[in-house]
Structures are given as structure tokens and as C-alpha cells.
Structure 1
Amino acid sequence: MVDFLFDGPEDARVTLLLAHGAGAAMDSGTMNAATAALAAEGIRVVRFEFAYMASRRTPAGPKPPPKAEKVMPEFLAAVAALGPVAGPLLIGGKSMGGRVASMVADGLHARGEIAGLVCLGYPFHPPGKPEQLRTAHLIGMTTPALIVQGTRDPFGTSDEVPGYGLSDQIEVLWMEDGDHDLKPRKAISGFTAAQHLKTMAQAVAAFAARIAP
């Protein structure tokens, strides 16, 4: 049984199944803000939680996040539980959620179950540990993908990522001065978090139109 949160138009042309990051629930402030921006661009957003995060809502209490590989079956189960949708289905997530989505994307795409992948703040490496890359599967990725990344994201900056040799199926949209939540410092960048989220959402809508016209 997968509990979903639905946002955006019920008759949307595109649906995005979105998973949360390692330490924040599907209804965290960051996820709520990103979802609202996406819904405002006409995208149907469906959120779900991995079991370790959902546990915090039960008497069992919170559990630490497992390794990304351990929750890959849960993402596949969420896709299956959602079932067929009207129009193309994209999968993705914030940070760890996007990483897990990227790890199951090629199989789903090869079977025609999804049209593409969207990652918001991809965790290319742990902060302060650029040698521990999480990019091996991204080099040969065959699924069309959009990664929206802040230029000063400690999980992968604009100085680091271009050298990773990512698949040519992956587009990276850089948010000027954005952190891991895409938030900029307005005094430095001239942008607000709301502006960056609107740009992100518009880019996702345009990406979906390109890969599944």
C-alpha cells in the first residue's frame, strides 16, 4: 500500500512521480514549495514516501535512511501502485529521491513505462567528499533526464559536474548561486528562491514537451 499526495490539475498532460530526500518528508517545506511551482505550470505531481520515512508517522517512530540501493524496489512499487496515467509519466525526486529514481529509470524507460527523469538537487557526492562519486550509472544512462542543480550545491557544484562525463541524454540546468534546495542568496545573485523554483518548473514543463510531445 502506497500513500500518495496529489497536486496539480487532474487533467494534466504530464504526471511527475516525485520522491523526497534522505532527511525530509514528502510534505516538507522544500517539497511543498517545489510541488507548488510544478503544479502552477500545469504538471500533475504525485508524491510518496519510502518506508523508513513513513515510519515517523507511526508508533514505530523515525528510522535512519537506508542506502539508496535498498529502496529501489520501493520506487518500482510506487510506479506500479500509481498505475497508468493520462499522458506521459516522469519520475524523479529531491536529492536521494532523485538518485533512486535515476537508478531505476532505464529499466522503466526501456519497457515504455516512463518518458523521462527529473532530479532536483542531485547528490553527485557527499558534501566534502568529491572523491565518492555517485555517477557510474549516469554515464551510460539511456533515459532522457533533466537535473536541476544549484551552482553552489555542496553535493555537486557547477565547477565539478561538467567533468563527470554524464550521458548525453542528461541535461543539467544550473540555478545561479543555488544551494542543495536551489535557494540562492538574493544579495549575491539577485534571484529569489521563488524565482528559481518558477524557472525550475518551467524547465520541467519544457523538458516534458520535448521528450513526449
Structure 2
Amino acid sequence: MTTVTTETVETAAGLARITWHPAAGPRLVLAVSHGAGGGIEARDLAALAAALPARGVSVALVEQPWRVAGKKLAPAPKTLDSGWRGVWPALAAPGLPVISGGRSAGARVACRTAADLGAAGVLALSFPLHPPGRPEKTRAEELHAVGQAGVPLLIVQGGNDPFGRPGEFPPGYAPHVVVPHGDHGFAVPRRADIAQDEALAIIVDGVAGWTRSLG
């Protein structure tokens, strides 16, 4: 069993923190960050960190500087991107391909920066396609940027996510992994025909299978 370690990284946006869940013989690094309303304890991030190292993928959970500083509100997208760019050298230090990922706002950061950073792929968990009830405020251009750069993209979405249900995504960018009944945090109702642990297993198995196609 490998040991979880933590390191801090100075970025232009402030001090970020990486919690490493290393694989014994890693073939890839999956770097994932949190959203604007939570941290790396999110159920999907925790599930990936617990399961993927046994499947040859080291997982790096990244806390943006604003979270490390104890602030309640996320800064502007430009600042989030700056923080992500600042941790990238540490993520790439093991010398392995790095998948750039995140949930919600973190997914948007991964999409916006993937091409410039040379990411091996992008994992978008609960991509916020639009604000709830505002489908006209689409952020689909951030997904298009990943596709246009030729970077592999995996979208994992809850079937009942108010920030973008699977059927709302543009052609060519439909979510590859859908969690039935899942909300923006992949929580499923108690009376749904799927249990919470089954929902998380769908995410883990979908991401693990995709990583095998990358290396």
C-alpha cells in the first residue's frame, strides 16, 4: 500500500496544495481539482483517489490557492487558470503523461488550459454547461476548445444535473459516462433504482476504462 503525501506549490495566484495518492507502478497521473463550492473531499474525487491507484493511475487532488487560504468564494476564471498553470510543473515532475481534470469549475479550468499545458487528456466531472435555469448562457465553447486541440476528452455527468443534463450538451460533446439520477454532486435520491455506491462505481469504472486508452 502506497503512502498519501501532501505538497504545497507556490503559484502566481498564491499557495496551492497537492495531495498525492500514488500508484505502485503508475502509467499516468490524473490531476483533478475541486469546484467553486467545495473541496477535494467531494464524493467523486474521493472515490477516484481511493480506487485508481490500484489500477495504475496516480491521483493528484489539487486545492486551488483560494481554498488553501480559507476563502469562501472562488476568484475569477483567469485567476483559477493561473493557479492551475502554477501547479502543473509539480504534476508533471514524475515524468508521466498527465490528465488534466476537475469537477464543475475545476472542469472548466482543465478545458481552458489543456492545450497550452500539453495535457494527455481532459476529465470533466459535472461540467457546468450553463447556470441552472439559464441554458442560453452556454459554456460549450470551452468543450469545443478541447476538441479543436485534439485532446482526448471524457465528460462524466449526472442524469439530473441542473447545470447541464446529458441531453443538453452539443452534438459531439455528449457525456460519455452518465450517472442515472445523479445531481451536480453525483448524489442520487434514496428511492432511485441505483444506490450511491453504485453511482460512484459507474464513475470509477468509466474513468478507469478511459485511462487505459491513453496509456
Separation (CA, whole Å) in 2 of partners of 1:166 and 1:103: 18
Aligned match of 2:65: 51
* Per-residue CA distance 1:78-132 (angstroms, 9 max, x = gap): 11122332543211011111110111012223xxxx2111111111111121111
1:121 correspondence with 2:126: yes
Amino acid of the residue matched to residue 166 of structure 2? Answer: S
Q: CA deviation at 1:211?
A: 2.6
Determine which of 59, 67, 72 is the counterpart of 2:76.
Answer: 67
Which aligned segments of 4 or more residues in structure 1 are displaced greater than 6 angstroms?
none
1:31 correspondence with 2:35: no
Contact 1:8 1:39 in 2 (8 A): yes
Q: Secondary structure at the match of 1:194?
A: helix
Contact 2:35 2:106 in 1 (8 A): yes
Aligned length: 198
Aligned match of 2:202: 199
Separation (CA, whole Å) in 2 of partners of 1:29 and 1:177: 15
| More deviation, 36-45/69-78 | 36-45
- Identify the structure with the greater strand proportion: 2
CA, structure 1 residues 197+41, in 2 after alignment: closer, same or farther (shift >3 Å)? farther
Aligned match of 1:3: 17
Aligned match of 1:82: 91
Aligned match of 2:105: 96
Aligned match of 2:4: none
Contact 1:20 1:95 in 2 (8 A): yes
1:152 correspondence with 2:195: no
Contact 2:186 2:199 in 1 (8 A): yes
Contact 1:41 1:202 in 2 (8 A): no
Separation (CA, whole Å) in 2 of partners of 1:37 and 1:67: 32
Separation (CA, whole Å) in 2 of partners of 1:38 and 1:121: 19
Separation (CA, whole Å) in 2 of partners of 1:191 and 1:41: 24
Q: CA deviation at 1:158?
A: 2.1
Q: Secondary structure at the match of 1:129?
A: coil
TM-score by length of 1: 0.83
Separation (CA, whole Å) in 2 of partners of 1:17 and 1:99: 14
